[in-house]
Every structure is written in structure tokens, then in C-alpha cells.
A and B are shown apart, each in its own frame.
Chain A
Amino acid sequence: MQEATFLILTALADGPQHGYGIITEVRQISGERVKLRAGTLYTALDRLRADGMIGVDREEVVEGRLRRYYRLTPEGTAVLAEEAARLHANAAAALRRLNPGLAGGAA
């Protein structure tokens, strides 16, 4: 899973978000490191919708402009949980090898 996709799913993990909201959340989650652009975001959303990972929660019109809220589907939640566990296990393994003295420590 690409990092942008992972972060988009993570942004939706605690509730529905609209496009601009996802960009803000992703920037926050990644510690200002990942600044999603609209083209990247919507290509990813298009694919995630087609794959059934996310769905449209609701639509609002704000100042004459369409605002669509996306939410994780149960499938998207499961895939995100699986990917997060995998990344977590990898990171833990890396930390264990870097700090053999701290086996079973902070990781």
C-alpha cells in the first residue's frame, strides 16, 4: 500500500471527512511531512471507492460548492488495520535489531 493511500485511510479512521479535510488531516498525521495535492488525492479516492475501501457518507453544498464526505467501509477498516499491524511489526523488528540491549523495550 502506498503511503498516501495509507494516510488517507488513516485520516478517515476516526470519522467521515471531505476532500479538503483529508488533506489537512494527512498533513497533521504525518507531522507536516506529506502535503497531498488534489490530483493525487482524487486519483486515490477514485480507486479506493472502486475497490470498496471507502464510501460516500453524505454530500453538502457549502457556498454553492459540492462537498462530499467519505467514510471507511468495513473492508477499508480491515485493510487499514492489517496494514497498520504489518508496519508496526516491521518497525518493531527494526528497533529491536538497532537496540539489541532493549529487547522487548519501547517498540
Chain B
Amino acid sequence: MNEEVTLERSYRRILAWYPRSFRTDSEDEILAVLLATAEDGQTRAGLAEAWDLVRGAVRMRLWPAAPRPRSVRVAVKLMLAGAAAELAAMITVISALGSVRATVAARDAAAMQAVHLHQVTVIGLAPVAIGMWLWLAWANGRGRDWARLLSAGCFALISLSVMAQLAQGVAAFAPATMIAAALVWALGLSSVVLIFTPAAGRYYRPQPAQQ
């Protein structure tokens, strides 16, 4: 009996790797199976057994089985596309860095300071923006309700910055910059619309299970 208690503790330590929802639902059940398949006198999880359990835990965490509604799946893909768009924009800015500076220096040396500041801001903020898109894609895919609200907040920020840019006059910006901004804004809008559809709502706020 003592051996079984030790063995159970050993299994539970590995089962702690599983997502909480799975453990609430199935930990005792899988434990019963593990104990039933254990050898007589076994006091700890075997190596192959432990590896199999950890692999299952990693798989469940990376590819959760909960059926995501189509709208959420598409929204997650759009958010990943948003991250890719930011990355592409950042690469464009970095690759044009030298030529832009040369042009500005030749035409209007006084504007150099402003250009420098602008470039540093854009390149500095891009990793943050990419990180936000990826993080929100991850959290929304898992149905975190706060992620939904945060996404809406971020979209509001994007909208404000686009409006601020428009207020400075379209002529001030290169067409590529405007297209990138419009693309990012459209991705933000469509993903936020998708995560606030009724079908998505049921995913984010599931009905409590009956007692």
C-alpha cells in the first residue's frame, strides 16, 4: 500500500504538467489507469511511461483539443498575419534606413533629428507590436476572455494612431507606409469583429457545467 502511495505521488508530479482543465476532468481517471498498468512493487514512474505522459501534456498545451469555433480559428490566423505584417514593415524600414537618411541629409539636414527619432521609434516599437499580436493570438486561441478585451483595446490604439497619421496629411507618408498601416488596421478590425461574434462568445464564456 505504501508503495502505491509513493507511486501515485510520482505519477501526480508528472500529471501536473497537463493543462488544468484536463486535470480537473481526468486526472483521477488517468491515474487509475496508470496504477492498473503498473508493475507489482513499482514505486516510481518508468522512463518510457514518464516520457509518454510528458509528450501528451506538451501536445495538449500546444494543440488544445477544445473545439474552437470557426470565427476564433480565423481570428487567430488573422492575428498571426498581423504579426507577419508588422515584421515585414519592420524589415522594410530597416532595409530603407540608409537610403532614407541619405536622401533627407541631402535635401534637408535640419529634418535629420526628426527622421532619426522616427526611425528609432518605429524599429523599437515593432518587436513589441509583433509580440502583442503573437501573444493575443495565443491567448484568444485558448478562449481567454481578457485577451478578447485586450485585443479590442489594442485595436482602438491602432485606430487612434492611424487617425493621427491621417491628421498629418496623407501626402506626408510614402504609399508603402499607408498600405502597411491600412493592412494592419484591417487585420485588427476583422479579428476583433470575429472574436465578438455570438459563436465566439460561447467559446470565451462557456456555460458552467451542470452539477
Q: Assess whether A65 is in contact with B30, with CB atoms less than 8 Å apart.
A: no
Q: Assess whether A43 is in contact with B56, with CB atoms less than 8 Å apart.
A: yes
Judge if B49 is at the interface, Cβ distance under 8 Å: yes
The complex places the Cα of A41 from the Cα of B28 at a distance, in Å, of: 14
Chain B interface helix/strand/loop/mixed: helix
Judge if B60 is at the interface, Cβ distance under 8 Å: yes
Q: Assess whether A19 is in contact with B30, with CB atoms less than 8 Å apart.
A: yes
Judge if A47 is at the interface, Cβ distance under 8 Å: yes
Binds B, one of A32-40, A81-89, A92-100: A32-40
Judge if A51 is at the interface, Cβ distance under 8 Å: yes
Judge if A106 is at the interface, Cβ distance under 8 Å: no
A49-B65, A50-B66 given; A39·B36 CB < 8 A: no
A-B contact count (CB 8 A): 67
B48: chain A residues within 8 A (beta carbon) = 37
The complex places the Cα of A62 from the Cα of B60 at a distance, in Å, of: 27
Interface size on B, residues (CB 8 A): 25
B52: chain A residues within 8 A (beta carbon) = 37-40
Q: Which of B26, B37, B49 interacts with A42 by CB under 8 Å?
A: B26
Encode contact with B along A8-30: 1 for CB under 8 Å, 0 otherwise. 00000000000110010000000
Q: Assess whether A20 is in contact with B28, with CB atoms less than 8 Å apart.
A: no
B31: chain A residues within 8 A (beta carbon) = 65
A37-B48, A37-B49, A49-B65 given; A43·B59 CB < 8 A: yes
Q: Assess whether A40 is in contact with B65, with CB atoms less than 8 Å apart.
A: no
A43: chain B residues within 8 A (beta carbon) = 55-56, 59-60
The complex places the Cα of A37 from the Cα of B34 at a distance, in Å, of: 8
The complex places the Cα of A23 from the Cα of B34 at a distance, in Å, of: 11
Judge if B32 is at the interface, Cβ distance under 8 Å: yes
Nearest opposing residue in chain A for B19, CB measure = A46
Q: Which residues of A contact B (CB under 8 A)?
A: 19-20, 23, 37-43, 46-47, 49-52, 65-68
Contacts A38-B34, A43-B56, A65-B32 known; list 5 others, CB within 8 Å: A39-B52, A39-B57, A51-B67, A66-B28, A68-B29
Q: Which residues of B contact A (CB under 8 A)?
A: 22, 26, 28-37, 48-49, 52-57, 59-60, 65-67
